[in-house]
Structure formats: structure tokens, C-alpha cells
Structure 1
Amino acid sequence: MKQVAMVTGGTRGIGLETAKKFLVKGYQVAIASIDSEDVIKQAMDELTALGDAVFISCNVADAEQCRNAVSKAVEHFGTIDVLAHVAGVVGQRVPLIDADLADLSNTIQINLMGTIQICQSVGQVMVKNRTGVIINVGSICGAMANTESIGYHASKGGVRMATQAMARELSPYGIRVLSVAPGWVKTAMIDKPIEEIGSKLHMKGRIINPQEIADAIYLLSLPEASAINGSTVMVDDGYASFKGVDGYSA
């Protein structure tokens, strides 16, 4: 029987590459996301060409939508073995004193409460099964400060601690919960000036490709990673290791 992965934010960027990875590895995949019709169609055309994938509309900031999406995924595939929770936003890149508090609140609602809400719904399924793996996508901003917004830092720091607390609660049921903390990743959230700055802060001299994060998520989902639980794995090409010093200079 094929295993089932649920990927939030699976219609673009890291989420899309993660969905592709699980499909290539033989999983059935439920894509929970919100996006424009054109983006959804293009993504699902790519994904269904690789395997058994279904799209389920879900704004993770809404708890009821999370519950409904999980119910639909289970109805369609029978279970959920792995949750890769990728959905998130950066918010406005402005200093705190100039920030729109509504934007900060929205960022925290999506990134932090969205994580808690989708993990609660999937966790209820996994507790019944007494098995499962939940992998949340955090950020280096959950462990160290850089130029991103206060709301983004607060939300990703919350994801890190929520992951640890979830692991403690869910491990007795055979469920692992962990997170990955990417450095700067080449997605639509990153513009050219930021990419140029970020390239100097990674050991390869470039920012990270979404496929590299997807690969890490898949590896951490495997039984061979069974001793990794409650941890945040830095998938940052060394960014945090040398604290933002130019890592590419010889």
C-alpha cells in the first residue's frame, strides 16, 4: 500500500518541489494550498504527470479549512503518513517602527497559528494510526536575527518551539515532529537585490534551491531518520554556522 504525504503550500516554491519529491518516491500526495487558478493548474499538471496527486483548497490561517482539508485528504487516500507543512508568508519587509501591525499579525497568524492548526488536524489522524511524521518548515530567522520583519522572526521562532512541544506530546503515539530551517531560498519571495546579498552569506556562494529543501524534508521523513525528533535541522548551507560572515570568500 502506497504511503500518503500531505504538502501545504504545494503549488509553488519549496512546497511544489516537496510534492514532486514525494511523488517521484512513490507516495500519493495531497496538495493543500491557496493560489490563483493558473498557478494551481500549472502545478497540478506537473504533479499529476509524476503520480497520484490531488489538490485541496486550504488557507492554513483558518482552522476550519485545515480540518476540512485533512478530512478530504483522508477521504481520498485513506490516511496521512507524512505532513510537510510548507505554507507561509514573509510579510512586509519594513522596520518595526514603520510596520503595519495588521500585516505583522497576519504573518504570525499564517506562519505560526497555521502551523499549529494544520498540525492539530493531521495529528488527530496520526494519533489514531499511532504512526506518522510531521515536518514543519521554519527558518534561520527562528534562531537568529537578520533583516526580515519582526512578524516573520516571531512567527518562525514560534514554529521552532511549537515543533518541540508537539514532539514531546505526540512521540508516545509513534509520531515524530521536527522542523527544517532554510537559509535564503530562491523562490518568488526573493527579489534580485536580496538574492545578491544572500548569495554571499551561504557557503556555496549562492542562495539555496527549493529542490535542496525538498530533498532534506524527504530524507528526514524516512525511517532511517527515526532518532531525529523535536529538532530543528538547519538546512541553510552554513549561513548560521558562521553568523552571516561572507562564506564564499577564499
Structure 2
Amino acid sequence: MPSYLVVGAARGIGFEFVNQLSAVPGNQVTGLIRSQATASALNDLAAERSNIHVIEADIFSPDSLREAVAKVEKVSNGALDVLIHNAYSAGTEVMFLSASQFTGKETELHQELTETIKANVIGPMLTINAFLPLIRKGAEKKLIYITTGAADVDMTRVSRLTGQIGYSASKAAGNMVMAKYAGDLAESGIKTLSIAPGWVETPATEGLTQNPEVFEYLVNAFKRIDPNVKGMITAEQSIKAMLEVIDKLDAEGSGAFVSHHGNKKWVD
């Protein structure tokens, strides 16, 4: 009976991971959330499916993580097959400033980088390290980090997307950390993967479609990468594609940074 842990499962991509994984009756799926305040949809789904477990935890607190590990251990029979780390920060209110626009805004720059590195690098490391004992006992032994195509240098260079410096840089750092884990844990049979979901329509991005100017800016940027891009894909499409890539992950591909297509095609 495969067991999955989805970190950051309350909404959007994380919620859809839980939805699709739990649709397979033999899977045991735990959703780790920061707060019950935003988890009503997840709790409703868990009420319908007995193979879903919802656990609240602060991933920056070692004590809270230890408590979460103990709870997950009970519902997953002492082992985890796949950990999917989706919790993240897109940045602060100045996230769309370009590098040069931070001139004279040194405090804001510090906050932008500190916030994103904490959420997108330190948080995942604390969480992975806490749950490693359960992953070591699993059959699949997979650590999955949800990243972004905006962390790819060539994608950024070609698209000329100049904002979200903290998000892009911290996710690039997260990708490197996952590659480090791949080497570190190879002899244990543990495999890692950084995978970007594509340009996905979620509660976090729904405001883009309501702002024609920003939406047009992003579409034009992505068209520099792929002229056929028209807009966002659904979370259902993204997660279905990512699960196929995750399922195929083997030792040879461990530590890689890929898109939901399993390659470097970042947008559809």
C-alpha cells in the first residue's frame, strides 16, 4: 500500500496532488498543512475518502515537525514512499521589482530574499530531514520538490522575466539542494527530483487573469519561449503530468530539474 506525504496540501497544486493520489483506493495520502483556516476543501475531501489524513504542522519548528512525523508514522504503518514538498513562498509585496529597481530599497531587498530563502530552501530541508527516517523504510524512497521554470537560467534569459527575483533565486537554490540530497542519499536508494508544474491556474494565480496588463505581459514573455502559449493549464492537467514523471523516476534521473513534461519545456 503506497504512502504519500504532500507538504502544503491545503489549496492549489498541493490539494490536487492529494485529490489525484487518493483517488487510487490503495494509496495512503497525508496532507501536511500550516493551518486549518485554509483547509476546508481538503477536510471535505478527507471526509469522503478514508485514505486521506490531514495533519497540521509548522515546518520551521523542529518540535512541530517531530510531532507531525509521529502522527504520519501511525497512519502510514511506519514508512513513507514519496514525499512531495509543495509549500513555498512567492515573495513579498515587492516581488515584481527588477534587480535595478531595488536601488535605494535595501531593506525591501533583504526582506524579499530572506522570506523566499526561508520558505523555499530552509523549510524543505527541515521537512525532508525530519521525515527521512520514514522515507528510508519506504519502498519507493522518493523526495519530490515542486519548483518553477523561472528558476532556469535559460528560461529567464530568453523570456526576459525580470521580476520575482527572490522566488526564482530561492527555487534555483532549492533545486541545487535536491541535487545535493541525490548524491548524499544515493547509497540508501533514495531518489530526488525537482519538478516544475508549468504555468498553472490556481488560487494563487487566479488574480493574473483578472489583470489584463499583467496577464498580457506574462503571455508575451512565455511566447518568447514557446510561440504557441495561450495561457495557463489547469491544476488537474499539471498534476496528472507530474505524477507520470514522478512514477518513472529512477536512480539515473535522481537529482534532476525538469518540467511537468519530464524535460525542459517549461510552459505549454
Please give the range of the TM-score, normalised by the shorter of the 2 chains. 0.7 to 0.9
Q: How does 1:206-221 map to 2 (within 5 A)?
A: 206-221=231-246
Q: CA deviation at 1:161?
A: 0.4
For structure 1, the residue ranges without an aligned partner over 5 or more in a row are: none
Question: Contact 2:43/2:54 (CA < 8 Å) preserved in 1?
Answer: yes
Q: How does 1:36-51 map to 2 (within 5 A)?
A: 36-37=36-37, 39-51=38-50
Deviations 1:147-185 (A, max 9, x none): 442221221011110111111111211111111023332
CA distance in 1, matches of 2:164, 2:181: 26
Contact kept? 1:178, 1:231, Cα under 8 Å: yes
Deviation at 1:117, TM superposition (A): 1.1
Cα offsets for 1:96-143 (capped at 9, x unmatched): 514352243122101111111111122232224575111110111221
Instruction: Report the counterpart of residue 124 of structure 2 in structure 1.
Output: 115
Q: Is 1:159 matched with 2:159?
A: no
Residues 241 and 12 of structure 1, relative CA distance in 2, 3 Å threshold: closer
Does the Cα contact within 8 Å between 1:20 and 1:47 map onto a contact in 2?
no
Tell me what 1:198 maps to. 218
Asked if 1 retains the 8 angstrom alpha-carbon contact of 2:80 and 2:138, the reply is no
Aligned to 1:69: 68
8 A Cα contact 1:130 1:175, kept in partner:
no
Cα distance in 2 for partners of 1:185, 1:147 equals: 19
Kindly indicate whether residue 268 of structure 2 is the aligned counterpart of residue 233 of structure 1.
Answer: no
- Matching residue of 1:187: 202
State the partner residue of 1:10: 9
Residue 87 of structure 2 aligns with an amino acid whose one-letter code is A
CA change 1:122–1:36 in 2 (3 A) is closer
User: What TM-score does the superposition give when structure 1 sets the normalisation length?
Assistant: 0.84
For 2:216 and 2:84, the matched residues in 1 are separated by 29
Q: Which residue of 1 aligns with 2:185?
A: 170
Residues 1:119 and 1:216: Cα distance change in structure 2 (over 3 Å): farther
Residue identity in the other structure for 1:229: S
Task: Please identify runs of 4+ aligned residues in structure 1 that moved more than 4 A.
Answer: 128-131
Query: Secondary structure at 1:178's aligned position in 2?
Result: strand
Deviates more, 1:19-28 or 1:45-54: 45-54
Please point out which of 150, 165, 168 is paired with 1:141: 150
Change (3 A) 1:57 1:168: same
d(CA) in 2 for partners of 1:189 and 1:50?
Answer: 26
Q: Is the 8 A contact 2:150 2:168 kept in 1?
A: yes
Stretch moving more, 160-169 or 120-129: 120-129
| 8 A contact 1:111–1:159 mirrored in 2 | yes
Alignment length (residue pairs): 240
Structure with larger Rg: 2
Alignment root-mean-square deviation, CA = 2.6
Which residue matches 2:83?
83
Counterparts of 1:19 and 1:104, CA distance in 2: 30
Retained in 2: the 8 A contact 1:60–1:110? no
Note if contact 1:208-1:236 (Cα within 8 Å) is conserved in structure 2: no
C-alpha distance in 2 between matches for 1:197 and 1:187: 18
Q: In structure 2, what residue type is equivalent to 1:19?
A: V
Identity %: 22
Give the counterpart letter for 2:232 in structure 1: I
With normalisation by structure 2, the TM-score equals: 0.79
> Closer, same or farther in 2 for the Cα pair 1:31/1:64, shift >3 Å?
same
